[in-house]
Homo-oligomer: A and B are copies of this chain.
Amino acid sequence: MSKPFALHPRLAADCHVLGRWPEGVLLLHRNASLPWLILVPECDAEQLIELPTEARHAVTERWHALAAWVGRHFSCDRVNLGAIGNLVPQLHLHAVGRRRDDPAWPGVAWGFSLPDASWTQAELETLTAELRKALALQA
């Protein structure tokens, strides 16, 4: 039997919860220096490559669709995809929109000390509404 799903405390502390899909919970990193989205599949596996094939495909499709949307929506030069999990063992998949004028460019965002910046409540509501419309994100 699986344990009830709960976000890892570090993800819960670092991120806003924007909604969910069948493939996982969608988080937004609280630091607004970058459009940093994180998909957290509700499962016991700690690595994407450990998921059964069908679930791995479904999660990967959702992750890629999310990343493509981030790139379009925020006019990014790149969307960095990462499945890392060295610090937070719970499976989570990063889609980090990157621009040549962002504070971490050209380095990776992971481990970089981003300048303080917060999403406003209005920005969070707009972003959530856009994700519901474009990618059928659920509450």
Contacts and interface: CB of A to CB of B under 8 A. Distances in A.
A29 interface: no
B80 A80 contact: no
Interface of A is mostly: mixed
Interface in A108-122: 108, 110-111
Contacts of A60: 60
Interface size band for A: 20 to 34
21 contacts: A47-B71, A47-B79, A48-B64, A48-B81, A57-B57, A60-B60, A78-B84, A78-B85, A80-B83, A80-B85, A80-B86, A81-B81, A81-B82, A81-B83, A81-B84, A82-B83, A82-B108, A84-B108, A86-B98, A107-B110, A108-B108
